[in-house]
Structure 1
Amino acid sequence: MNNSGLLLYANNLTETEKLLANYILENQEQVAGMSLDELAKVSFSSISTIHRLCKKIGLTGFKEFKIKFVEELYSKMNKPENIDINFPFKKDDTQFQIASNIKQLYIDTLTNTFSFFNSEQLEDAVDLIYNAEIVDVYAVTNNIQTALNFQDKMQSIGRYVNVSLIPMNQVYRAAASNNKNKQVAIILSYSGKTPEIKEIALVLKRKEIETLVICSAQENYLTKLFKYHIFVSSKENLKKKISHYSSHIATQYVLDVIFSCIFNKDYEKNMEYRLNEFNKLDHRQVEE
């Protein structure tokens, strides 16, 4: 049995020791970072009481208890668990547990999204964007920030990417698209059900604009319209959730992969641009 279990089930403790044991169990994260004196102060216990408690659960003293307790706590926090993508934490979870759960949500989402990658589809998608002179990214609500992040990365290597913040302006841009200008589009839409995105998609289809769709692997209207698509982790509920954790992480990951592959196609050229041209616009004072 681990030390937490010994504290919980020990039956030979005095009332004072029980109070101390309960304090430790109820404040495990804080206790993990405390010294002997700090624990005594906050738990209203004496140092001798702490040592007696440690010995009653089979340890030599507080020093050994602290080492084993911290090891057990971090082992428990780092143990992979099945995280509910839509409700990754509960009302009574500690802040440290929430941090651990969100970390695991990231891992699960990225692992699941990576499993959808097909080397041929990825290569085709990267080539489509790489060979384009103009890239228009279409997105609404939470995907706007993800699109802007991609725009920023691409512009950092001298590539033009357009992101319009107003849905109606996106429709106008789609209508003004011209497939003779090496112009391509990226649509970010987890469900493919947003009315604005549907309208934009139909316009792009009519204008015969080559389009990459980044969306859920579930049945999606957009994948029926366009040849190029990359799926993301599809466990997120559209309405019943705390926030759009998984879809945001997955979409950001896919765009980061695309950017990285494009960067890698002209690695030396892009590195030189980053170091010489783009950095001239960065006025932050940093040490070399």
Structure 2
Amino acid sequence: MSVLIKLRDYRNLPEAEKQIRDFILKDPKRIVDMTIYEVAKETFTSTATVVRLCKRVGAKGFNQFKIMIASELQGFENVHLNVLDTTTVSRDDSPKTVIDKITNIDVHSIEETRIILNEDSLVEAANRIHKAQVVDFYGIGASNVVALDATYKFMRIGKNVACYQLNDRQWVQALNSSSKHVAMVFSYSGETKEMIDIANECQKNGCYVICITSSTSNTLASIADVSIAVSSRETLFRSGAMASRITQLYIVDILYALVSQLDYDQAIEKVNKTRITN
């Protein structure tokens, strides 16, 4: 998990921790050579507050936090990523500029997601999907579009799948779930009430829950049996919806490939069998 991406995407931080977060993100290279006392002084906070922020993102203390940042800065430089680079489309942008900006957003969102991916979580999710008798997909709005895409992909390789657009039908779907089902729940914020209720209901029925959500702490991730984090850069009117859809689709593609590998010959046969030609 990337400390810098997690810091950037953190919502509802206490004001003092937010000041430290903004100071760190403005020049993360500088932090590596600073002491905890210097950071506290520069941000008009306390060393205790600095430590709290470090622990919030998974470090045991400030020294480990600095080591984590130094380690990932090199990786960011290798793929030319800047965690503070946000791109918004302006009224006067030319079509070429819009094309370049959206391309930049989507590519960098996928690159960031690759950095924060947990391979063990992906393998566990793929194994559960492969063994499940039924795979149910859930999502609202843009996330429902991703759920529908996943439904079609896994149907191509012979999985028994279900996905509905209306929330009341998704709720009935969850009520009828069991230990023979796996539920994949899409919600970038991880705080969509309908998806939280569905995840809770699925678990109550013994259904294994996989969530695709943001890298920051959220309710859905805390409920799920396995959580797969995606990154999302701001775009257009400071909304991350476009980029989060791209990164969720990216995760679907990875899981689809991993599940297909578990029964490779049969998956290839089924894909060829269901290929539609004009």
* TM-score between the two structures when normalised by the length of structure 2: 0.66
Instruction: Supply the distance in 1 between the matched residues of 2:142 and 2:158 (Cα, whole angstroms).
Output: 26
1:214 maps to 212
1:188 paired with 2:199, answer no
Distance 1:85 1:214, change over 3 A: farther
Q: How many pairs align?
A: 199
Does the residue aligned with 2:117 lie in a helix, a strand or coil? coil
1:149 maps to 149
1:176 maps to 176
Could you tell me whether the CA contact under 8 Å between 1:86 and 1:243 is conserved in 2? no
2:124 maps to 124
Distance 1:242 1:118, change over 3 A: closer
Q: Quote the offset at 1:235 in angstroms.
A: 4.3
Q: Quote the offset at 1:266 in angstroms.
A: 2.1
Distance 1:84 1:148, change over 3 A: farther
Does the residue aligned with 2:229 lie in a helix, a strand or coil? strand
Distance 1:221 1:157, change over 3 A: same
Could you tell me whether the CA contact under 8 Å between 2:81 and 2:108 is conserved in 1? no
**Code of the aligned partner of 1:233:** S
Give unpaired runs (5+ residues) of structure 1: 1-79
**Code of the aligned partner of 2:222:** K
What RMSD in Å do the two structures reach over aligned CA positions? 2.3
Q: Quote the offset at 1:223 in angstroms.
A: 1.6
Does the residue aligned with 1:272 lie in a helix, a strand or coil? helix
Superposed counterparts of 1:61-76, under 5 Å: none
Higher relative contact order (CA 8 A, sep 6+): 2
Q: Quote the offset at 1:109 in angstroms.
A: 0.2
Q: Quote the offset at 1:254 in angstroms.
A: 0.4
Give unpaired runs (5+ residues) of structure 2: 1-79
1:54 maps to none
1:244 maps to 241
* TM-score between the two structures when normalised by the length of structure 1: 0.64
Cα displacement string for residues 262-281 of structure 1 (whole angstroms, at most 9, x for unaligned residues): 11222222212222x213xx
Q: Quote the offset at 1:102 in angstroms.
A: 1.0
Distance 1:86 1:244, change over 3 A: farther
- Kindly name which structure, 1 or 2, has the bigger radius of gyration based on alpha carbons: 1
Does the residue aligned with 1:90 lie in a helix, a strand or coil? coil
**Code of the aligned partner of 1:163:** C
Could you tell me whether the CA contact under 8 Å between 2:195 and 2:220 is conserved in 1? no
**Code of the aligned partner of 2:117:** F
Instruction: Supply the distance in 2 between the matched residues of 1:263 and 1:133 (Cα, whole angstroms).
Output: 15
